[in-house]
Amino acid sequence: METGFEGRVVLVTGAASGIGRATAEAFGARGARVACTDIRTDQLAETVGAIEKSGGEAMAMALDVADSAAATAAVERCAEQWGGLHILANVAGVLKLDHAHQLSDEDWNRVLGINLGGTFFMSRAAIPHLLEHAGCIVNVASLAGLKGQAYGAAYCASKAGVVALTRVMAVEYAARGLRVNCVCPGGVDTPLISGFTPPDDFDPELVNRLSLVPKMTAPAEVAESIVYLASPAAGSINGVALPIDFGTHAS
Protein backbone atom coordinates (compact mmCIF):
# COMPACT_ATOMS: atom_id res chain seq x y z
CA MET A 1 0.00 0.00 0.00
CA GLU A 2 1.20 3.47 -0.84
CA THR A 3 1.57 5.85 2.06
CA GLY A 4 1.51 9.56 2.69
CA PHE A 5 -1.79 10.22 4.49
CA GLU A 6 -1.45 7.96 7.52
CA GLY A 7 -3.42 9.30 10.46
CA ARG A 8 -5.37 11.65 8.23
CA VAL A 9 -9.16 11.59 8.15
CA VAL A 10 -10.72 12.36 4.78
CA LEU A 11 -14.40 12.86 3.98
CA VAL A 12 -15.40 12.37 0.35
CA THR A 13 -18.87 13.18 -0.98
CA GLY A 14 -20.23 11.47 -4.08
CA ALA A 15 -18.06 8.45 -3.29
CA ALA A 16 -20.35 5.80 -4.80
CA SER A 17 -18.99 6.13 -8.34
CA GLY A 18 -16.94 8.11 -10.80
CA ILE A 19 -14.55 10.76 -9.52
CA GLY A 20 -15.81 10.38 -5.94
CA ARG A 21 -15.10 6.67 -5.81
CA ALA A 22 -11.70 7.09 -7.45
CA THR A 23 -10.85 9.83 -4.94
CA ALA A 24 -11.93 7.79 -1.93
CA GLU A 25 -9.91 4.80 -3.13
CA ALA A 26 -6.86 6.97 -3.86
CA PHE A 27 -6.84 8.40 -0.34
CA GLY A 28 -7.47 4.97 1.15
CA ALA A 29 -4.55 3.51 -0.76
CA ARG A 30 -2.31 6.13 0.83
CA GLY A 31 -3.21 5.28 4.40
CA ALA A 32 -6.01 7.75 5.11
CA ARG A 33 -9.18 6.82 6.95
CA VAL A 34 -11.92 7.66 4.49
CA ALA A 35 -15.52 8.58 5.27
CA CYS A 36 -17.44 7.86 2.07
CA THR A 37 -20.80 9.55 1.54
CA ASP A 38 -23.45 9.32 -1.17
CA ILE A 39 -27.18 8.84 -1.63
CA ARG A 40 -26.57 5.53 -3.45
CA THR A 41 -25.87 3.22 -0.55
CA ASP A 42 -25.44 -0.02 -2.52
CA GLN A 43 -22.67 1.42 -4.66
CA LEU A 44 -21.23 3.20 -1.65
CA ALA A 45 -20.77 -0.15 0.07
CA GLU A 46 -18.76 -1.28 -2.95
CA THR A 47 -16.41 1.68 -2.55
CA VAL A 48 -15.88 0.97 1.13
CA GLY A 49 -15.35 -2.72 0.36
CA ALA A 50 -12.71 -1.92 -2.25
CA ILE A 51 -10.81 0.32 0.19
CA GLU A 52 -10.93 -2.28 2.94
CA LYS A 53 -9.92 -5.06 0.55
CA SER A 54 -6.77 -3.12 -0.29
CA GLY A 55 -5.95 -2.77 3.42
CA GLY A 56 -7.44 0.68 4.04
CA GLU A 57 -9.99 1.89 6.58
CA ALA A 58 -13.30 3.38 5.50
CA MET A 59 -16.88 3.89 6.53
CA ALA A 60 -20.06 4.61 4.60
CA MET A 61 -22.65 7.28 5.34
CA ALA A 62 -25.82 7.83 3.34
CA LEU A 63 -26.01 11.55 2.63
CA ASP A 64 -27.88 14.06 0.51
CA VAL A 65 -25.46 16.99 0.50
CA ALA A 66 -28.27 19.39 -0.37
CA ASP A 67 -29.71 18.75 3.10
CA SER A 68 -27.94 21.24 5.35
CA ALA A 69 -28.67 19.40 8.60
CA ALA A 70 -27.63 16.06 7.14
CA ALA A 71 -24.36 17.55 5.88
CA THR A 72 -23.55 18.85 9.35
CA ALA A 73 -24.46 15.53 10.94
CA ALA A 74 -22.18 13.61 8.56
CA VAL A 75 -19.21 15.84 9.33
CA GLU A 76 -19.81 15.59 13.08
CA ARG A 77 -20.16 11.80 12.95
CA CYS A 78 -16.92 11.46 11.01
CA ALA A 79 -15.01 13.77 13.37
CA GLU A 80 -16.42 12.06 16.45
CA GLN A 81 -15.66 8.54 15.26
CA TRP A 82 -12.11 9.23 14.12
CA GLY A 83 -11.11 12.11 16.35
CA GLY A 84 -11.13 14.92 13.82
CA LEU A 85 -11.19 15.80 10.15
CA HIS A 86 -8.20 16.80 8.03
CA ILE A 87 -9.44 16.84 4.42
CA LEU A 88 -12.81 17.42 2.77
CA ALA A 89 -13.27 16.47 -0.88
CA ASN A 90 -16.53 17.87 -2.23
CA VAL A 91 -17.19 15.69 -5.27
CA ALA A 92 -20.97 15.07 -5.26
CA GLY A 93 -22.71 16.64 -8.22
CA VAL A 94 -25.45 16.35 -10.81
CA LEU A 95 -25.72 17.40 -14.44
CA LYS A 96 -28.75 18.75 -16.24
CA LEU A 97 -28.61 20.33 -19.69
CA ASP A 98 -31.57 22.10 -21.21
CA HIS A 99 -32.46 25.19 -23.18
CA ALA A 100 -32.32 28.08 -20.74
CA HIS A 101 -35.86 29.19 -21.54
CA GLN A 102 -37.18 25.67 -20.90
CA LEU A 103 -35.29 24.88 -17.68
CA SER A 104 -37.76 24.15 -14.88
CA ASP A 105 -37.65 25.59 -11.38
CA GLU A 106 -37.26 22.05 -10.07
CA ASP A 107 -34.18 21.32 -12.19
CA TRP A 108 -32.61 24.71 -11.45
CA ASN A 109 -33.06 24.26 -7.70
CA ARG A 110 -31.85 20.65 -7.74
CA VAL A 111 -28.64 21.41 -9.64
CA LEU A 112 -27.81 24.51 -7.61
CA GLY A 113 -28.82 22.79 -4.38
CA ILE A 114 -26.51 19.82 -4.85
CA ASN A 115 -23.57 21.28 -6.74
CA LEU A 116 -23.25 24.63 -5.01
CA GLY A 117 -25.40 24.34 -1.90
CA GLY A 118 -23.96 20.94 -1.02
CA THR A 119 -20.42 22.20 -1.41
CA PHE A 120 -21.18 25.12 0.88
CA PHE A 121 -23.05 23.08 3.51
CA MET A 122 -20.27 20.50 3.75
CA SER A 123 -17.56 23.16 3.86
CA ARG A 124 -19.35 25.23 6.49
CA ALA A 125 -19.69 22.19 8.74
CA ALA A 126 -16.12 21.02 8.16
CA ILE A 127 -14.22 24.29 8.54
CA PRO A 128 -14.12 24.36 12.38
CA HIS A 129 -12.61 20.87 12.39
CA LEU A 130 -10.23 21.59 9.53
CA LEU A 131 -8.92 24.72 11.26
CA GLU A 132 -7.84 22.57 14.21
CA HIS A 133 -5.53 20.57 11.93
CA ALA A 134 -4.46 23.10 9.29
CA GLY A 135 -6.51 21.01 6.92
CA CYS A 136 -7.77 21.58 3.42
CA ILE A 137 -10.78 21.43 1.15
CA VAL A 138 -10.70 20.31 -2.47
CA ASN A 139 -13.85 21.00 -4.46
CA VAL A 140 -14.82 19.53 -7.79
CA ALA A 141 -15.98 22.34 -10.06
CA SER A 142 -15.87 21.94 -13.84
CA LEU A 143 -14.61 23.42 -17.06
CA ALA A 144 -18.23 24.61 -17.27
CA GLY A 145 -17.43 26.84 -14.30
CA LEU A 146 -14.73 28.59 -16.33
CA LYS A 147 -16.30 28.71 -19.81
CA GLY A 148 -19.83 29.09 -21.07
CA GLN A 149 -21.51 25.83 -22.04
CA ALA A 150 -24.63 25.94 -24.14
CA TYR A 151 -27.68 24.39 -22.44
CA GLY A 152 -25.87 24.54 -19.10
CA ALA A 153 -27.57 27.49 -17.37
CA ALA A 154 -27.96 25.67 -14.05
CA TYR A 155 -24.84 23.54 -14.30
CA CYS A 156 -22.52 26.40 -15.33
CA ALA A 157 -23.98 28.72 -12.71
CA SER A 158 -23.48 26.09 -10.01
CA LYS A 159 -19.92 25.25 -10.99
CA ALA A 160 -18.92 28.90 -11.45
CA GLY A 161 -20.30 29.38 -7.97
CA VAL A 162 -18.07 26.56 -6.69
CA VAL A 163 -15.04 28.27 -8.25
CA ALA A 164 -15.96 31.59 -6.61
CA LEU A 165 -16.72 29.93 -3.27
CA THR A 166 -13.35 28.17 -3.42
CA ARG A 167 -11.55 31.48 -3.89
CA VAL A 168 -13.53 33.22 -1.16
CA MET A 169 -12.76 30.55 1.42
CA ALA A 170 -9.12 30.35 0.32
CA VAL A 171 -8.64 34.06 0.97
CA GLU A 172 -10.74 34.15 4.13
CA TYR A 173 -8.90 31.33 5.93
CA ALA A 174 -5.39 31.50 4.46
CA ALA A 175 -3.90 33.17 7.53
CA ARG A 176 -5.40 30.43 9.71
CA GLY A 177 -3.71 27.62 7.81
CA LEU A 178 -6.69 26.28 5.85
CA ARG A 179 -6.19 25.78 2.12
CA VAL A 180 -9.09 25.57 -0.35
CA ASN A 181 -8.67 24.59 -4.00
CA CYS A 182 -10.80 23.13 -6.75
CA VAL A 183 -10.35 21.06 -9.88
CA CYS A 184 -12.17 21.89 -13.11
CA PRO A 185 -12.42 18.78 -15.28
CA GLY A 186 -13.73 18.76 -18.82
CA GLY A 187 -15.32 15.55 -20.03
CA VAL A 188 -14.71 12.68 -17.61
CA ASP A 189 -15.63 9.07 -18.26
CA THR A 190 -18.19 8.73 -15.45
CA PRO A 191 -21.85 7.73 -15.08
CA LEU A 192 -22.65 11.44 -14.77
CA ILE A 193 -21.59 11.96 -18.38
CA SER A 194 -22.60 8.63 -19.90
CA GLY A 195 -26.10 8.85 -18.44
CA PHE A 196 -27.02 12.39 -19.45
CA THR A 197 -29.60 13.16 -22.14
CA PRO A 198 -29.09 16.18 -24.41
CA PRO A 199 -32.01 18.60 -24.79
CA ASP A 200 -34.33 18.44 -27.78
CA ASP A 201 -33.08 20.20 -30.92
CA PHE A 202 -29.61 20.74 -29.46
CA ASP A 203 -26.76 21.89 -31.67
CA PRO A 204 -23.88 19.34 -31.51
CA GLU A 205 -21.36 22.01 -32.54
CA LEU A 206 -22.19 24.07 -29.47
CA VAL A 207 -21.55 21.05 -27.26
CA ASN A 208 -18.41 19.86 -29.06
CA ARG A 209 -16.74 23.27 -28.84
CA LEU A 210 -15.83 22.42 -25.26
CA SER A 211 -13.35 19.76 -26.33
CA LEU A 212 -10.08 20.20 -28.21
CA VAL A 213 -9.48 16.45 -28.50
CA PRO A 214 -11.81 13.45 -28.85
CA LYS A 215 -10.84 12.08 -25.45
CA MET A 216 -12.37 11.70 -22.02
CA THR A 217 -10.34 12.04 -18.84
CA ALA A 218 -10.28 9.00 -16.55
CA PRO A 219 -11.75 9.48 -13.06
CA ALA A 220 -8.48 8.26 -11.55
CA GLU A 221 -6.58 11.14 -13.15
CA VAL A 222 -8.89 13.69 -11.55
CA ALA A 223 -8.61 11.83 -8.25
CA GLU A 224 -4.82 12.03 -8.37
CA SER A 225 -5.07 15.79 -8.85
CA ILE A 226 -7.34 16.04 -5.83
CA VAL A 227 -4.93 13.97 -3.75
CA TYR A 228 -2.03 16.16 -4.83
CA LEU A 229 -3.84 19.39 -3.91
CA ALA A 230 -4.60 17.90 -0.49
CA SER A 231 -1.01 16.80 0.09
CA PRO A 232 1.84 18.60 1.86
CA ALA A 233 3.56 18.84 -1.53
CA ALA A 234 0.92 21.43 -2.46
CA GLY A 235 1.30 23.37 0.77
CA SER A 236 1.70 26.73 -1.01
CA ILE A 237 -1.20 26.17 -3.42
CA ASN A 238 -4.36 27.94 -2.32
CA GLY A 239 -7.37 29.32 -4.18
CA VAL A 240 -6.56 27.52 -7.42
CA ALA A 241 -9.12 26.38 -10.00
CA LEU A 242 -7.15 23.69 -11.83
CA PRO A 243 -8.40 22.84 -15.34
CA ILE A 244 -8.13 19.17 -16.34
CA ASP A 245 -9.30 19.46 -19.93
CA PHE A 246 -6.53 18.82 -22.49
CA GLY A 247 -6.04 22.60 -22.82
CA THR A 248 -9.62 23.45 -23.81
CA HIS A 249 -9.77 26.34 -21.32
CA ALA A 250 -6.87 27.98 -23.12
CA SER A 251 -8.62 28.07 -26.49
Catalytic residues: 155
Distance, in Å, from the CA atom of 21 to the CA atom of 12, rounded to the nearest integer, reads 8
Long-range pairs of 69-78 with CB within 8 A, sequence gap ≥ 24: 71/118, 71/121, 71/122, 71/124, 71/125, 72/121, 72/124, 72/125, 74/11, 74/35, 74/37, 74/122, 74/125, 75/11, 75/122, 75/125, 75/126, 75/129, 76/125, 77/35, 78/9, 78/11, 78/35
- 183 near 244, Cβ under 8 Å? yes
What is the number of other CB atoms lying within 10 angstroms of the CB of residue 177?
Answer: 14
Q: Which residues contact 184 (CB under 8 A, 6 or more apart)?
A: 141, 142, 143, 145, 146, 159, 163, 241, 242, 243, 244, 245, 249
CA distance 82 to 100: 44
Phi and psi torsions of 124, nearest 5°: -55, -45
